[in-house]
């Protein structure tokens, strides 16, 4: 996926109710509450079990979760996590997204242009080192100090050379704990198999974030080393009978971001400033893409991937907006913060330690408010593939000239191999799609910054957004991989002498973008992090480490069980499991409720009573896509691909009554592989335990 992914990192401050409710929690592997699991479910994971689960888990760089499911590098994830790869392999003649793809032999496993798999191999506590370096710092100074010490810690960790490993200092509890995570990187990733999009996204956007579902959001890829399947002795087994109602289930994966422990000021900022601009802009972009896709089949093909991600993000944000629009809940979490502050006020030592952290954050956000739209459109909103690459090239040339610790986070030495891989990608560029994206961005920029803004004037001159977009896209050579690599390798000199219109364009707006980015980093995030650290430490003093940290797209483990619920949206009772037969009932022949021919043809061979999708109480969020659902024997019982609409409030709070994770059952996967796709090679490799009733 080459859309710029930006995680909103606003609001990471640890306060609020510390009581963990029932199955709530996205726990770290180094602080897993085995005692709580034992108390509720009678099973206590030991260290060997936790290590095995961790090493069998995987991350699709930048976007998703995954798992190792054989000793030969076989990785299971969602279809939508490999969608970019499958789309990139497609041509006008072969649309593998539409038709699916199943490699008959190892030789048929085609390389994904820019997919990367990570495994978390080592966790080291570096809290003391970091806190020593950041002590007494606030705002910009804190951000700078944190960047420097992080770079200094990461550098020696990259001991085997940057290309094979990735080291990251991870900020947990909003500055309360810092851990060094060392990942093994697999950069040779190949497609093994994926069903038709119609099956992987059956129900489409209308059914997204809903339950009951009938969806096979599945793909298999394989990691290679030295041109051969990588050896992955640590991997999950495969359950014979799947998971039954009320059975204990675990989910490992990399939830992207939660904001459960932010201050009230940040939540109000999210509700009043962030959610409106994100949902409105993504809605408008959705409308343009929808009509673009209606124009002809080719445009439909090339824009499907963007629309999928856009609609998914939009629906997730609408869910957040609905949660933030729950004034009763908002008042309740505001009250929890008031209670915390009262408890802090009761201890002189904590008053001294926390200082004006709350007030400083209030002030920082009030000052930031009029600049947020500027920040969003100059820095966060995706501008198409070419312009995104141009930004990477121009910024990297400047940033690489700086010491590692002084750079923007995404240009630190540890991140450069990722960028290089993206720039060297052979994924195709579609000019019509690029023009649409650039014209949209320019139009929004003029609208939001105003026609009199100097940057807007410099970019548009006497042309319309559409004219400028056409000129840039038609004139750019950045669609050529070799040219991108040349500019990357040529560094500052190559960028300075480039006349490519995309590079020239970035030079016109990058100063303005950097200025507002710096304001965000120094005056907002810097305050959030330094204030967050103080509040987090006060909370540790008051409550100990009884809770889990907010999600940070790093590996977490959640526990729960297969369970139905009562829908708050419709007031209906929802059963926890759907069955294969139900897909045939729900299908109406028209997209997005159209079963592919393979399914219709195989109908007689399929057991309609085999569980298809199911819901569990596991606490997950975006980024958990592709996560394995496994049992206490470390066997796969399912594959996470969604949460229900109620789970979107999970960004801010967890409610076991209605928050549900949604996955495909291990049994449905085997049925589909064996009976529909005839992928016997994969079934054999998964080796489900004997006694199964497939």
Inter-CA distances, 156 with 399, 405, 628, Å: 20, 14, 32
Task: Please name the residues in contact with 648: beta carbons below 8 A apart, sequence gap of 6 or more.
Answer: 209, 315, 316, 318, 319, 320, 322, 323
DSSP summary character for residue 27: B
Q: How far is the CB of 567 from its own copies (least distance, A)?
A: 10
Residues 413 and 158: beta-carbon distance below 8 Å: yes
Q: At closest approach, how far in Å is the CB of 431 from its own copies?
A: 15
Closest CB to its own copies among 128 and 327?
A: 327
Nearer to its own copies, 88 or 382 (CB): 382
CA dist 364 and 615 (Å) reads: 41
Residue 431 vs 490, nearer CB to its own copies: 431
Which stretch of DSSP H or E encloses residue 559?
strand 556-561
Name the minimum Å distance from CB 456 to its own copies.
9
**What phi, psi does 109 have (nearest 5°)?**
-80, 105
CA distance readout (Å), 322 to 258, 495, 629 = 15, 45, 28
Which residue number, 284 or 680, has a Cβ lying nearer to its own copies? 284
Closest approach of Cβ 568 to its own copies, in Å? 8
DSSP 212-259: S------EEEEEEETTEEPP--S--EE-SS---TT-EEEEEE------
Instruction: Give, rounded to a whole angstrom, the gap between the first and last alpha carbons of the chain.
Output: 34
Q: How far is the CB of 280 from its own copies (least distance, A)?
A: 5
Instruction: For its own copies, give the closer residue by CB, 236 or 579.
Output: 579
Q: Where are the beta strands (DSSP E) in 36-85?
A: 57-60, 64-68, 74-77
- Judged by CB, which is closer to its own copies: 233, or 571? 571
Q: Of 462 and 693, which has the nearer Cβ to its own copies? A: 462
Q: Smallest gap, in angstroms, from Cβ of residue 268 to its own copies? A: 5
Both tokens assigned to 451: 């026609």
CB of 654 to its own copies, least distance (A): 21
Smallest CA-to-CA distance from 656 within 556, 558, 548 is with: 558
Could you give the CA distance from residue 540 to residue 671 in angstroms, rounded to a whole number? 49
CB nearer to its own copies: pick between 282 and 392: 282
> In angstroms, what is the minimal distance from the CB of 206 to its own copies?
5
| Smallest gap from residue 428 Cβ to its own copies (A) | 22
Residue 287 or 608 having the CB closest to its own copies: 287
Closer residue to its own copies (CB): 352 or 570: 570
Tell me how far, at minimum, the Cβ of 340 lies from its own copies, in Å.
20
Instruction: Find how far residue 548's CA is from the centre of its chain.
Output: 19
Select 225 or 326, whichever has its Cβ closest to its own copies: 326
Helix-helix angle 385-399:416-423, to 10 degrees: 140
Q: Which of residues 312 and 624 has its CB atom nearest to its own copies in the complex?
A: 312
Residue 439 CB, nearest approach to its own copies (Å): 9
Nearest-approach distance from CB 325 to its own copies, in angstroms: 3
Shortest CA distance to 80 belongs to which of 194, 213, 250, 191? 194
Cα–Cα dist 614/565, whole Å: 12
Task: State the residues that interact with its own copies by CB under 8 A.
Answer: 203, 205-207, 210, 268, 271-273, 275-276, 279-281, 283-292, 294-295, 318, 321-322, 324-327, 370, 436, 446-447, 450-451, 460-464, 466-467, 569-570, 588-591, 593
Q: How far is the CB of 441 from its own copies (least distance, A)?
A: 13
Q: For residues 251 and 303, which CB has a smaller minimum distance to its own copies in the complex?
A: 303
Closest CA to 307 of 284, 290, 283: 290
Smallest separation (angstroms) from its own copies to the CB of 279: 5
Q: Which residues contact 216 (CB under 8 A, 6 or more apart)?
A: 79, 195, 199, 200, 202, 612, 664, 668, 669, 672
Residues near 85 by beta carbon (within 8 Å), at least 6 away in sequence? 112, 113, 115, 189, 191, 221
CB 293 within 8 A of CB 589: no
Q: Read off φ and ψ for residue 349, nearest 5 degrees.
A: -65, -40
- Of 322 and 419, nearer to its own copies (C-beta) is 322
* Total Cβ atoms within 10 A of residue 661: 30
The structure tokens 């007031």 sit at: 571
Give min distance, CB of 589 to its own copies, in A: 5
Q: Which is nearer to its own copies, 314 or 679 (CB)?
A: 314
CA nearest 663: which of 206, 157, 243?
243
With CA atoms as reference, report the closest residue to 418 among 54, 5, 58, 8: 5
């Amino acid at each position: 996926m080459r859309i710029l992914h930006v995680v909103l990192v606003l609001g990471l401050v640890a306060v609020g109710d510390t009581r963990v409710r029932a199955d709530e929690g996205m726990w770290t592997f180094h602080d897993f509450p085995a005692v709580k699991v034992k108390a509720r479910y009678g099973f206590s994971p030991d260290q060997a079990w936790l290590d095995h689960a961790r090493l069998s888990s995987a991350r699709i760089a930048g976007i998703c979760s995954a798992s190792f499911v054989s000793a030969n590098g076989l990785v299971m994830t969602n279809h939508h996590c490999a969608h970019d790869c499958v789309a990139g392999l497609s041509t006008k003649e072969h649309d593998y997204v539409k038709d699916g793809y199943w490699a008959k032999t190892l030789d048929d496993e085609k390389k994904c242009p820019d997919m990367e798999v990570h495994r978390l191999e080592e966790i080291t506590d570096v809290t003391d080192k970091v806190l020593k370096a950041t002590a007494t710092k606030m705002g910009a100074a804190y951000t700078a100090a944190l960047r420097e010490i992080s770079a200094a810690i990461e550098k020696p960790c990259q001991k085997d050379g940057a290309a094979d490993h990735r080291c990251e200092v991870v900020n947990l509890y909003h500055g309360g704990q810092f851990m060094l995570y060392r990942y093994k990187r697999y950069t040779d990733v190949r497609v093994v198999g994926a069903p038709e999009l119609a099956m992987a996204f059956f129900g489409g956007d209308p059914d997204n974030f809903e339950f009951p579902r009938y969806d096979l959001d599945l793909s298999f890829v394989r990691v290679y080393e030295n041109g051969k399947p990588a050896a992955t002795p640590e991997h999950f087994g495969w359950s014979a009978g799947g998971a039954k109602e009320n059975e204990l289930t675990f989910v490992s994966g990399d939830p992207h971001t939660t904001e459960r422990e932010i201050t009230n000021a940040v939540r109000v900022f999210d509700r009043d400033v962030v959610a409106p601009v994100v949902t409105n802009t993504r809605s408008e972009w959705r409308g343009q893409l929808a009509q673009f896709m209606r124009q002809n089949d080719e445009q439909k093909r090339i824009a499907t991937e963007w629309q999928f991600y856009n609609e998914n993000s939009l629906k997730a944000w609408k869910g957040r907006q609905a949660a933030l629009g729950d004034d009763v809940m908002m008042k309740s979490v505001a009250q929890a913060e008031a209670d915390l502050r009262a408890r802090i006020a009761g201890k002189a030592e904590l008053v001294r330690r926390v200082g004006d952290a709350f007030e400083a954050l209030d002030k920082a956000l009030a000052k930031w408010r009029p600049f947020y739209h500027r920040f969003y459109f100059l820095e966060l909103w995706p501008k198409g593939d070419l312009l995104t690459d141009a930004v990477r090239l121009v910024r990297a040339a400047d940033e690489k000239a700086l010491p590692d610790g002084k750079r923007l986070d995404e240009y630190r030495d540890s991140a450069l191999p990722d960028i290089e891989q993206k720039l060297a990608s052979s994924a195709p560029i579609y000019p019509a799609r690029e023009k649409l994206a650039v014209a949209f961005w320019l139009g929004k920029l003029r609208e939001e910054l105003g026609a009199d803004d100097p940057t807007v004037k410099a970019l548009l001159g006497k042309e319309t957004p559409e004219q400028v977009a056409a000129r840039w896209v038609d004139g750019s050579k950045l669609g050529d991989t070799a040219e991108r690599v040349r500019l990357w390798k040529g560094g500052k000199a190559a960028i300075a002498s480039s006349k490519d219109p995309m590079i020239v364009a970035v030079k016109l707006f990058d100063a303005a973008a950097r200025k507002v980015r710096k304001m965000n980093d120094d005056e907002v995030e810097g305050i959030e992090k330094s204030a967050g650290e103080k509040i987090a430490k006060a909370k540790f003093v008051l409550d100990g480490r009884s809770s889990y940290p907010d999600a940070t797209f790093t590996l977490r483990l959640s526990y729960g069980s297969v369970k139905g619920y009562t829908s708050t949206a419709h007031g209906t009772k929802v059963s926890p499991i759907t069955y294969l037969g139900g897909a045939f009932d729900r299908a109406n022949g028209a997209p997005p409720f159209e079963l592919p021919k393979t399914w219709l043809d195989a109908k007689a061979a399929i057991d309609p009573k085999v569980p298809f999708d199911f819901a569990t109480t596991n606490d997950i969020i975006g980024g958990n896509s592709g996560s394995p659902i496994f049992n206490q024997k470390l066997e796969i019982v399912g594959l996470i691909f969604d949460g229900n609409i109620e789970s979107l409030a999970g960004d801010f709070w967890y409610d076991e009554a209605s928050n549900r994770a949604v996955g495909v059952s291990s049994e449905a996967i085997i049925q589909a592989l064996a009976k529909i796709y005839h992928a016997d090679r994969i079934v054999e490799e998964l080796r489900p335990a004997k006694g199964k009733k497939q």
